Chain A
Amino acid sequence: MNPTIFSLDYFFILLGLTLSIISIMSFRDSGNPRRIATGTFWALYAVVFLIGDRLLPLVVGIIVVVMALIAGLGGVSLGKYGQFTPEERRSSALKLGNKLLIPALIIPFTTVIGSVVFQKTKIGGMFLLDQKNFTLVSLGLGCIFALIVACRITHGTPVQAMREARRLIDSMGWAVVLPHMLAVLGLLFMDAGVGKAVAQVTTTYIPMDTRFVAVVVYCLGMAIFTMIMGNGFAAFPVMIGGVGIPILIGVFHGNPAVIAAIGMFSGYCGTLMTPMAANFNIVPAALLELPDKNGVIKVQILTALPLLTVNIFLMYYLMQF
């Protein structure tokens, strides 16, 4: 592989350093009743980013379990953050005006421009962006540009930005690490053959001798399996191999493109309804400070179920083309 100027590893280090500072701030925060546990939690996560790839996997596994114990026993707690009052924020908004929006918009625009325009750019034989992770690296660069501009506009400091990052991270608490832990569980599910077991159960016990029943089993199966695994990518190989190829294509001669496309979308209906898709459902609930962590899922169900029904009929009629 070609060397890269902006490798993803730099951003792991950057995040590791940020988490280290957050950890130190937590240890010193006398306003946090569980400051030792909270500080330890973020210190362990910092270690994973700073030197995780040089540690024995067994050690990282133990770190993961300890983090889960701290989070599970309520060890990640809120502290004091020296926030501005709503009045101070409002007068600051009136003073700075629309300039405040610029850094916020720099992040998405740098990400898009970086990953679209500079994706293959080389300087002196080296790729500018990490070729496997050009979107993430562009996002990281966007955050750095945005921080520089934000400091200039607000006269805030990077240290203040760290304090604010701690405020947001603490307000999300354990939800911050949930997507990461779930991704690990997904890998373990695959290793342990959970997919095969689910396919076995669905295909053995449900008779699929009419086309409509087969379509319903496939679409519902995609949705339910996605809800269990947390993403449609894990469900697709199982359902296409168990029902899609042998029955919808093999027996009923359906159009593979229709079966693939609408099948995956049925899976996404499942994504909208499961806490296992934490980064889409649980993290936003935490970010928006909803008291009910399932609040986002609850409003999504009424979009997901009608859409799943629509998908079943769309597939039933379109697969003949």
Chain B
Amino acid sequence: MQTAVNLWPLLGVAVIIAGFLLRQNPVMVVIISAIVTGLAATMPIDKILISLGNGFIKTRNLPLILLLPLGVIGLLERYGLKEQAQILIAKIKSATAGRLLIVYLFVREVSAALGLVSLGGHPQMVRPLIAPMAEGAAENRYGSLPDKILFKIRAMSAATDNVGLFFGEDIFVAFGAIVLMQTIIRGYNIEVNPLHIAMWGIPTAICAFFIHAFRLNRLDAEIERALGAKNSTGSVVVDEPKGEKI
């Protein structure tokens, strides 16, 4: 290789991959990778520490989003917020975990596309409201849920928030990613209209909705397959979701 690009810092990437594959504690893996990467780039140890410290202070706003809402959410949970979310969902007889999450996916994606990205989120929306409602909808039909199903519903609730956010926000013109793309491409003397970047994102955004909605539909089918025969209340007839046999 004739160019002067130093390939040794890739060792840091190797440490990350190995660490996660060997299921070591991620925080430890990240710090070891940081030190290995720094050493591979011939940085002395004190410079690595300084760079870690500067980075840690520079990115302090990241944990705020997660940590600030916890006090209120915790207090409300103590006084029955999750239980109330489940009482509410029990009133909607046609609700299933999958259908509820499809509605949330739609609302999350459309509101993010309009720039309202903070209408969802894991600490303030998914944990206190969305996941308990999805669990509640399934419990109303099948009684108490085995852990495997319960954890699957929770994981899908978090996944739904992510998919809605990611593929919605990028078709909002003023979103940072679009500005970033425009700026970087301008660096190569090519002008792109941000509106066009947003517009060409729409086909993917629509496909993301349908692919994930299909998966949520399958989630209902999976819950029905696992629990339907065993302890269906009999009063509720679950109509077969479309596309189940594909």
Contacts and interface: CB of A to CB of B under 8 A. Distances in A.
A215 interface: no
B163 A300 contact: yes
B177 A233 contact: yes
A72 B200 contact: no
A168 B73 contact: yes
A310 B211 contact: yes
B212 interface: yes
Contacts of A213: none
A167 B74 contact: yes
A182 to B, nearest CB: 6
Nearest to B207: A310
Name A's interface SS. helix
Contact of B64 (A11, A181, A275): A11
A123 interface: no
Nearest to A280: B162
Interface in B59-74: 59-74
Contacts of A48: 56-57, 60
Contacts of B13: 189, 194, 198, 228
Contacts of A191: 41, 43, 51
B183 to A, nearest CB: 10
Interface size class of B (residues with CB under 8 A): 35 or more
A146 B192 CA distance: 42
B163 to A, nearest CB: 6
Contacts of B34: 184-185, 188
A184 B120 contact: no
Contact of A154 (B76, B116, B201): B76
A146 B40 CA distance: 48
Nearest to A229: B13
Contacts of B103: none
A264 B181 contact: yes
Contacts of B46: 58
Interface in A1-47: 8, 11-12, 14-15, 18-19
A284 B120 CA distance: 13
Contacts, number: 435
Of the listed residues A287, A289, A298, the one surrounded by the most CB atoms of chain B closer than 10 A to its CB is A287
Contact of A288 (B67, B78, B126, B188): B126
B71 A164 contact: yes
Nearest to B129: A104
Nearest to A225: B13
A262 B203 CA distance: 9
Nearest to A62: B49
Nearest to B202: A261
Given A61-B53, A311-B204, A140 B80 contact: no
Name B's interface SS. helix
B33 interface: yes
Contacts of A271: 162, 166
A261 B198 contact: yes
A147 B85 CA distance: 19
Contacts of B5: 193, 196-197, 200
B57 A164 contact: no
A183 B67 contact: no
A156 B79 contact: yes
Contact of A93 (B81, B152, B170): B81
Interface string B90-122: 000000000000000000000000011011111
A290 interface: yes
Contacts of B181: 236, 240, 260-261, 264
B65 A268 contact: no
Interface in A98-137: 98, 100-101, 103-104, 107-108, 111-112, 115-116, 133, 135-136
A318 B203 contact: yes
A276 to B, nearest CB: 7
Interface string A62-78: 11110111011010000
A115 to B, nearest CB: 7
Contact of A161 (B59, B72, B128, B207): B72
A223 interface: no
A265 interface: yes
B72 A287 contact: no
A237 B185 CA distance: 9
Contacts of B69: 107, 139, 143, 146
Contact of A197 (B9, B48, B54): B9
Interface string B156-171: 1111011100110010
Contact of B122 (A55, A69, A167, A287): A287
Given A71-B25, A260-B197, 4 more contacts: A93-B80, A103-B72, A116-B115, A275-B26
17 contacts: A64-B53, A68-B27, A86-B83, A89-B79, A108-B125, A167-B74, A168-B73, A184-B59, A192-B12, A192-B41, A192-B43, A194-B37, A232-B177, A241-B184, A260-B192, A265-B204, A303-B212
